[in-house]
Amino acid sequence: MNPPAQLHAAGQSLWLDNITRDLLDSGTLSRYIADLSVTGLTSNPTIYDKAIGGSAAYDDAVSSAARRGLSAEATFFELALDDLVRAADLFRPVFDRTLGVDGFVSLEVSPLLAYDAAATAAEAARLHAAGGRPNLFIKIPGTPEGLPAIEDSIAAGVPINVTLLFSPAQYLACMDAYTRGVERRVAAGLPPYVPSVASFFVSRWDAAIAAKVPAELKNGLGLAIGAKAYADYRAYFGSDRWGFLLNEGARPQRLLFASTGTKDPAASDVLYISGLAAPYTVNTMPEDTLHAFADHGAVPSLLSPDPAGADAALSAYAAAGIDIDALGHELQVKGAESFVGSWNSLIARIEAKATVVA
């Protein structure tokens, strides 16, 4: 049993944090599914900016969209949905076998809508309907402005991948938004289960504090914050509030570990894979990290639902002067700004390519 299969056997889903048309056309994604236990994937504007700019695979589709007078934004969503529908169909057997727990692909709403909750929820519903696949997640940032859109989308039955979560406080707010959406469905007599994952970013913590802490604390905060998120996850969905919802047929929102590619070349390239193994969770990883884990990864132990270890580790960082809430806010703001930058770059790239291929 190879390392990805071992991780899957431990109860964690391996998703690929990448998609390109070449990945689909070459059969590589199919091989990852068959050989490396990959059961889903995620995408974002940065991934598509690189994919469209670095390949001729999209030239014909961009040319066709330009001839039809589509805007660059409409062109992007057409291209992305074409890819993601194909990927969703590859993962559909997993989705069916797990009764809608696993086998998802993700598409992000425009980050330019970040401060308009109503517009974000409406766009999430539109994109999910346009995809026409039950295993298509729509990504909405878990910012304060995004939380109402997340609640409304869940209440409306739209599967949501909540992205850009960093701190325990942000994650708690996300779980609350998801729960309120489910409670609204129960109150309305609707089927309570709406698939959702909460994407908790880990590696950026260590990159942010690398120059601020002693050597013994480097490359450990991401794992500590991930362990804390897992303990919070287990406690939250084990509450009496959720006992009632489980009795009505609801399911917990799954915790997803994101940003799991190692930033420090001196650290293990599978640091955030081996160190964040936990049942009923997801780890979405870059392609090179997937290959590294398949080559020399291991699953030494599973995360504990007991928060004591994570709390002790976080206390060490607090003693070193790291304010978790303040840094989490800073990372979320910078992450949102980065997505806007990638989105603008993506739109400019499509506009440029449309001119060239025309």
Q: What is the mean pLDDT of residues 92-107?
A: 98
pTM exceeds 0.75:
yes
Quickly state the pLDDT bin for 1 (edges 50, 70, 90). Answer: confident
Q: What is the pLDDT of residue 84?
A: 98
Q: What is the mean pLDDT of residues 267-280?
A: 97
Quickly state the pLDDT bin for 53 (edges 50, 70, 90). Answer: confident
Give dist(CA 229, CA 235) in Å, integer: 10
Q: Which two tokens stand for residue 97?
A: 């076998």
Arithmetic mean of pLDDT over the chain = 96
Q: Which two tokens stand for residue 322?
A: 């790291």
Q: What is the pLDDT of residue 221?
A: 97
Give dist(CA 206, CA 308) in Å, integer: 21
Q: Is 177:117 a contact under the CB 8 Å cutoff?
A: no
Q: Which two tokens stand for residue 83?
A: 């890819």
Domain count, the chain: 1
The enclosing domain of 260 has a CATH number of 3.20.20.70
Q: Is the pLDDT at 4 greater than 80, yes or no?
A: yes
180-236 tens-digit pLDDT: 999 999 999 999 999 999 999 999 999 999 999 999 999 999 999 999 999 999 999
Containing structural domain, residue 124: 3-357
Q: Is the pLDDT at 2 greater than 70, yes or no?
A: yes
Q: What is the pLDDT of residue 110?
A: 94
Q: What is the pLDDT of residue 357?
A: 67
Instruction: Give the active site residues.
Output: 139
Q: Helices 28-35 and 72-97, interaxial angle, to 10°?
A: 30
Residue 353, SS3?
helix
Q: Which two tokens stand for residue 314?
A: 């976080």
Give dist(CA 246, CA 189) in Å, integer: 14
Between 47 and 282, the more confident residue is 282
Q: What is the pLDDT of residue 224?
A: 98
Give dist(CA 337, CA 329) in Å, integer: 12
Q: Is the pLDDT at 161 greater than 90, yes or no?
A: yes
Q: What is the pLDDT of residue 54?
A: 79
The amino acid at residue 315 is S
Q: What is the mean pLDDT of residues 318-344?
A: 95
101-146 tens-digit pLDDT: 999 999 999 999 988 999 999 999 999 999 999 999 999 999 999 9
Q: What is the pLDDT of residue 228?
A: 98
34-46 tens-digit pLDDT: 999 999 999 998 9
Q: Is the pLDDT at 358 greater than 80, yes or no?
A: no
**Lowest-pLDDT choice from 16-30, 49-63, 164-178:** 49-63
Beta bridge partners of 257: 200, 283
Q: Is the pLDDT at 347 greater than 70, yes or no?
A: yes
